[in-house]
Amino acid sequence: MAENYAVELRNVTKKFGQVVAVDDVSLRIGRGEFYSLLGPSGCGKTTTLRMIAGFEMPTRGEVLIEGEVQGHLPPHQRPVNTVFQNYALFPHMTVEQNIAFGLEMRKVPKDEIRRRVGEMLEMVHLTGMGKRKPAQLSGGQQQRVALARALVNRPEVLLLDEPLGALDLKLRQAMQLELKALQEQVGITFIYVTHDQGEALTMSDYIAVMNRGRVLQLGTPEEIYENPTSRFVADFIGETNFIPVTVREGGQSPRVAIGDQVVEAVWAQDGLPVGAQAVLSIRPEKIALHRQASDAPGKAVIPGKVTNLMYLGTDTRYTVAIAGGSEVVVRMQNVTSSEHFFRPGETVALAWSPHHGRVMEAD
Amino acid sequence: MYRLFGRYPSLRAWLLLLPAALWLFIFFIAPLFIVLAYSFLERGTYGGVEWVFTLENFQRTFDPLYFNTFLRSFYIAAVTTVITLLLGYPLAYYIATRPPERRGTLVLALMIPFWTNFLIRTYAWLTLLRTNTGLINVTLLNLGLIKEPLPLFGNDFAIILGLVYGWLPDMVLPLYAALDRLDVSLVEAASDLYAAPRNVFWRVIWPLSLPGVVAGSMLVFIPSLGAFVTPAILGGGKSLMIGNIISNQFLAAHDWPFGSALSFVMMAVMLAATLIYFRSTTESDRRQL
């Protein structure tokens, strides 16, 4: 049922000489999805995108677009368009000429080109700027032209290579919302490459987290954030604590020892034997501080001592030292006023629900 | 001194410019005016000039005898420019698309032959092209591939060949500079937007390389128009260009005023060409901004 996917990658590998840039990646990207490839620089996400666009050909494996095997089809014969990281606007053409380029190449009638270019300019809020050269536009405006130039062709799939990377923070956040709204409006499949986990969480329907050429985890932003299945993913997406533990029981209902305190966890990575040194991954906001262990029935509880606190407005960020000398970060929302703050030096009980604890390889 | 310069910063600039300005004035601008003055005077019997004002020298430049040579020089320079462009563009494109570490070597390889004296290289062509004793004709005749020597020498073909050979690097280097600046992602963007390779070239690569095309063309056209070594040697005394006529007026005919007038008409043509060049490059630069 390959035709159910906008883009499908089957065991795609790309080598540059001896360097494996993309290593046996398989993806299925559904129609109309906002799908992010997320990972640090050099993880293979851009190479993956370039293989879908046709700028690179896979060393092994297949790329399918709308169920069609692409083989060695050159970029101009693929039903996808790309928004480049540096926008790659044609400097010698006006905004209108840039946007019309793809339609002209496909020999769309002149009056239809004029109409569609006008519509696009309106959609990206650039009406009246059509006669300008790209160099006369701000970064954000150039970004919109790049988007319009791709979307005007109504591609099956839009490929975006870190399109917001060059913008300043405020503009980037505004454009994130705009992009997401635009994607919902046009209903085109977006494949979005980014190294910014916040961006990926905000905009995506699905995320593929990549590292060293491999896909480590696929899922919705919530699944990836709540249920990371590797230390890399837990670390790369959001903030997390890795508390050193000894495995007491693996498998379906894992139990680990922190110092001499045994707690339950919801999930353990495969292949961790009993007695192994591991880490318990737990997000700072999942942990609550209490005066006494008995205040948190039904929770995993360990003792600690507050070493530091940082007031952040909506919440307070505590650093708590626990048995064995490691430190745990705890974020508690400031629901009530400051008299409930725990002070540095205070002995506290750290409590969390066992189904937030995930046991992973130590390194 | 230092305080003086500090108080009058423009004085320092003028002092630094002075040697170059003096040099240019004494050896370039002053002779230019002497030549201009001569072009309005009558010839002396054994060279030199008679101080009598006349416009006759300029009238003579439009004499078909000389004017046709003008037109032919124009034609030869234009053909040379087109051929160097056709040869140089693919070469420059090839070099510009190699990995960065190989480009330097290729540019160097392009330049090395031109470290040899131009006269010697032109004589080398002479030994290759000469009608009865040239290496090419002798070889082909001995192999029995031709019965009569090919007309390789003493004609426009030989001159154009020599000029193309001589000025090719002057075409390739500005083209290479322009193509090297071209952002590869623009080429990718064009092909991503359904442009077949020939459209990528004509709609993106070619227009963005135009400053290099114009610069290279001027660098080839202007010296080709004024060439006299190449036509003197490879033209075999039969095929002449305006540069040869001018040198003849000074050296053989002892008609300095007429030689001066011819020089000035040629300079006017070159100036016009240069102005066109500057206008088109600044326009394309403006387009790129």
Please give, one letter per residue, the 3-state secondary structure of A39-53.
CCCCCCHHHHHHHHH
Q: E strand or H helix at A28, and its extent? A: strand A19-30
Per residue in A259-269, pLDDT (tens digit) is 888 899 999 88
Q: Contact, A294 vs A330, CB < 8 A?
A: no
Given phi > 0 = left and psi -120 to 50 = alpha, else beta, which region is A308?
beta
Q: What pLDDT score does A248 carry?
A: 92
Determine the distance in angstroms separating the CA of B286 from the nearest CA of chain A, rounded to an integer.
Answer: 9
What's the ipTM? 0.84
Chain A nearest C-alpha distance from B190 (Å) = 8
Judge: B288–A92 Cβ closer than 8 Å, yes or no.
yes
Interface touch A101/B287, C-beta < 8 Å: no
Q: CB distance from B185 to chain A under 8 Å?
A: yes
Residue A340 has pLDDT above 80, yes or no: no
DSSP string, B75-86: HHHHHHHHHHHH
pLDDT in tens, B222-265: 899 988 889 988 987 777 888 888 988 888 888 899 999 999 99
CA distances from B1 to A258, B18, B32 (A): 79, 17, 36
In this complex, the residue of A74, A89, A90 whose CB is nearest that of residue B191 is: A74
What are the C-alpha distances in Å from B62 to residues A111, A331, B69, B131, B271? 53, 93, 10, 34, 19
Cβ–Cβ below 8 Å for A81 and B192:
yes
Assess whether pLDDT exceeds 90 at residue A336: no
Is the model's pTM score more than 0.95?
no
Q: Answer yes or no: are the C-beta atoms of A265 and A357 closer than 8 Å.
A: yes
Distance from CA of B33 to the nearest CA of A (A): 43
For an interface test with A, which of B193, B202, B203, B289 has the most A Cβ atoms less than 10 Å from its Cβ?
Answer: B193
**Rounded CA gap, A225 and A353, in Å?**
16
Look up residue A291 and give its two tokens: 């005066």
B28–chain A Cβ distance below 8 A for any pair: no
pLDDT at position B283 is 60
Among A124, A118, A137, CA closest to A178: A124
Contact B198/A at CB under 8 A: no
* Closest chain A residue to B208, measured at CA: A92
pLDDT at position A272 over 50: yes
The pLDDT of residue B284? 52
Q: Which residues of chain B have pLDDT under 70?
A: 1-7, 281-289
Over residues A207-237, the pLDDT tens digits come to 999 999 999 999 999 999 999 999 999 999 9
Rounded Cα gap, residues A11 and A126, in angstroms: 41
Query: How near does any CA of chain A get to the CA of B187, in Å?
Result: 9
Say whether B190 and A149 touch across the interface (CB within 8 A).
no
d(CA B228, CA A328): 86
B288 contact A CB<8A:
yes
Q: Between A and B, how many residue pairs show a Cβ–Cβ distance under 8 A?
A: 68
Q: Which residues, in sequence order, are bridge partners of residue A358?
A: A267, A281
d(CA A328, CA B44): 104
CA distance A55 to A77: 11
Chain B residues with CB under 8 Å of A81 CB are 192-193
Q: Which band of pLDDT confidence, cut at 50, 70 and 90, is reported for residue A339?
A: low
Is residue A3 pLDDT above 70, yes or no? no
Q: Strand, helix or coil at A81? A: strand
pLDDT at B288: 45
pLDDT of amino acid B5: 62
For residue A315, the surrounding DSSP H or E stretch is strand A315-322
**Number of residues that this document lists for chain B:** 289
Minimum-distance CB partner of B185 among A54, A84, A149: A84
CA A73 to chain centre: 29
Region of A54 on the Ramachandran plot (φ > 0 left; ψ -120 to 50 alpha; else beta): left
pLDDT at residue B118 in the model: 86
In whole angstroms, give the CA distance from residue A209 to residue A221: 10
The minimal CB distance from A90 to the residues B196, B204, B284 is found for: B204
Query: What's the topology of domain B75-288?
Result: MetI-like fold (1.10.3720)
Q: Give domain limits for chain B.
A: 75-288
The DSSP bridge partners found for residue A35 are: A191, A206
Which of B185, B187, B188, B194 to substitute to test the interface with A, most A CBs within 10 Å?
A: B194
Contact A42, A199 (CB under 8 A): no
Chain B residues in contact with A82 (beta carbon < 8 A): 188-189, 192
Check residue A1 and give its pLDDT.
Answer: 45
Averaged pLDDT, A96-113: 96
CA distance A63 to A29: 11
Is B86 an interface residue toward A (CB < 8 Å)? Answer: no
CA-to-CA separations, B220 to A324, B225, B274, in angstroms, rounded: 79, 9, 12
The backbone region for A66, taken as left when phi is positive above 0, alpha when psi lies in -120 to 50, beta otherwise, is left
Say which residues have a Cβ less than 8 Å from residue A83's Cβ, sequence separation at least 6. A146, A147, A150, A158, A159, A160, A161, A163
Q: What residue has token string 């193509």? A: B179
Does B194 contact A74 at a Cβ distance shorter than 8 Å?
no
Contacts of B204 in chain A (CB under 8 A): 90
How many CB atoms are located within 10 Å of the residue A222 CB? 10
Cβ B288–A135 below 8 Å, yes or no? Answer: yes
Question: How far apart are the C-alpha atoms of A63 and A73, rounded to whole Å?
Answer: 10
Question: Would you give the DSSP letter of residue A24?
Answer: E
Instruction: Note the pLDDT of residue B4.
Output: 61
Closest CA to B83 of B156, B193, B163: B163
User: Is it the case that residue A239 has pLDDT exceeding 70?
Assistant: yes
The residue of A50, A55, A94, A98 whose CB has the most chain B CBs within 10 angstroms, and thus the best one to mutate to test that interface, is A55
Length of chain A measured in residues:
363
* Cα–Cα distance list, A232 to A25, A110, A221 (Å): 17, 52, 15
CB atoms B195 and A101 under 8 Å? yes
pLDDT tens sequence across A295-307: 888 888 999 999 9
Average pLDDT over residues A44-53: 96
| Per-residue model confidence (pLDDT) at position B153 | 86
For the stretch B112-139, what's the b/e string if a residue is b when 16 or more beta carbons lie within 10 angstroms of its beta carbon?
A: eeeeeeeeeebeebbebbbbeebebbee
CA–CA separation, A258 and A279 (whole Å): 9
Give, as one character, the DSSP assignment of residue A196: -
